[in-house]
Structure 1
Amino acid sequence: MACHNKEEKLVKHQEKVTNSVEPWPNLPQQLLNFIGRQHPDLMQNISFRGVTKSWRAAPKQCSNNSQLPWLELCDKNYYQSKTQQEHTVNISFQPGEYSWYPKRRYNPWTRFHGCSHGLIVAGGNDPAEYCLLIPTAIPFNSYWTIPPWDATIPFKFATLSEYPSNNCKSWSVMVLTGCSYPLFVVYHTGNPFKWMKQTSSLVDPNCSKRQLMILTNAIGLEGRFYAISLQGTLAVTEESESMFQVTKLSKSRAVPSVFSKHFTEYLLESNGEILLIFLISEQSTRKVDRVEVFKLQMDDLSWIKLDNLGNRTLFAGTNCCMSVNASQLGCRSNCIYFNEYATNTWMFYEMGSATILPCFDVYGSQTKSPVWEEPIVENNFL
């Protein structure tokens, strides 16, 4: 009887481990297969994971109308997870033109901490060992080496400053720690093989409690890093005298235009622009009621709300996002396809009509895995 109970516990444990492995990237499989065959360069458009934030109303003794509510990370958020989320690549990547180091021993890279400019920032069983995986036809066949990590520092999220091509010999990796000390850590290929800590004591200007800044999301573009704080402040970070420093802070907040119970933000690059997608839950945390897209104005670091995406289509999965040219892929333009986290079903938001509609399969049923109709003639839709 005791032996039988042990077997049952072992089976339950194995099922728990299997269920905890999250497929990556969480985008329609047929879409990814089509991109992999026809447009492998679009894999560089995939960015890693959004950040879920929730509003917290100001207490009654601080009910000054001039004060905005402050934000907090939700319990479900990746940054507050007590366990390391394991992932599995569920697409066949195409070989890329990268410089690479052959794999000398087996290392199960199963924890993904970012995808940027075509490379995946991954960790293995050793908490000090991370790498930049190079997507190939055989997963995890080759990778860039990065310096050993100090396991006492949280490794929450990572992004690259730019695409490490043959013409770009100097690039950087930024790691967000999810805390204020250190604010972030950077490895720059032009410097010695080590991480540089940024021990900033910046107070978040948009925090009504005057707390130190905590960065929760970031993207690299043309050698700079654009990071968003917990309170929606945008911080520009760039190299100065062999050190990476915050050089600019936005005056306006990167938050939805409406009050909500919580929202998920996605930061991505699209046609040389930085976009911010908000999936907003106004009534229930299990349902997305509104979708908003903002574009960053580089001159004054302000955000303008977009009413039209033109010929672009945006995708927001549970763990990634991407922008594509609608005509190139033969899909519906000027809309955002997103995965509703609570129900794990795909929906799409039409920018023109400002409506949210479900995705369907070939039988006309709402589905968790929508069918991607590969284009045969122009103007084919999903």
Structure 2
Amino acid sequence: MAPAMSDWSALPMDLVNLISQGIDTEIDLIRFRSVCCNWRSSSIRKHHLNILPFEFPLFKFRSLFDSIINDNTIPFFCYLSKCSFFLIKPPHEQQQTLIRHRPWLVRIRQYSNGKTQILNPLISYQSPFDSLHSIDFNKLSVIHLGTDFIVHDDSLLYDYMYPEKIVAFTGNEKKPIVLGAFTTTSKPILLKCSNENRNGIPVMTAWFEDICIFKGRPYVVHKTGRTATLGLDDFTFELVAESLVSGGGDIKFLVESDGDLLLVDVYESIGFDLMVNVLRLDEKEMRWVNLMSLGDRVLFLGNGCSFSASASDLCVSKGNCVIFIDDAILNFNFENILYGNCIFDLVEGRVSPLCDCPEYFNLFWPPPDWIVKRS
């Protein structure tokens, strides 16, 4: 007689909570919470970085810097949504067949109330996939590529200033800390916010281009390429790289790739094609060094989040290219071709609209047949 199947939903909730506290990766927690509705509602989300509902302070548009340093100013608090980028691949048994199943690169938005929504990563405004209602991560091969945070749509107030980019990390006390980057103000600043201090603390007032998390610490790049990291003890900045010669290009992106911190330096000029240089941080020499090739890697650069993946994981023929998504770059060349979502080939030194490169464009749209049939 075959043994009876265990009813995992009948586990005591105290035990479910205890198990969930030991999970420290995004994918594993999603899979844990998708076992059944009891596990989803009972697992303690507040123990996990970047998952708990988080309030972020907003200040009036005209006096953002003065509002922050003025203790009498009461900010408006908004909730943040978490957007995660995943590369979803077929189950392993399907990957072993002779039929090639392309993966799907998708963005999933998680609201503070636990609701989730599947979005198109190529579009800056919210564009849900209405035909897909659920994805069972327990039955698929999933790679977590990156995460960003955005303000809830229902929190938007037009007389308030909103951060261009938000990142989250843990300090030495292992408590979540959120940094919001405001780069279009007269005095660009970073706002530090945690559950213990919700008012926000300005931690940097120099002009900067991008911010990212590398090895668990925030890194900020100046428009000249000068780069610093934020100390986790006193929240002061420590220089890690000097400026580029002549300051480099017009737009800079920071992105982690295969254990290295890269700087993507973009030269843009209306009427001409984009030019892109990729540099690697030499931590010992405290400088950026030119990177001649990305090898198998593909860089994805967006307004809120940048990440990388291998060409083999993406199931594309080659890497060594940079893909701009989320309308991170908007430029017209001399042929009046708009480069919004585009791809730059580092070997050929040429930029093309992403829609002209179906092998890469199809990573985002349309959803592959194998996942549509499963939803």
TM-score, structure 2 as length reference: 0.50
| Structure whose residues are more often helix by fraction | 2
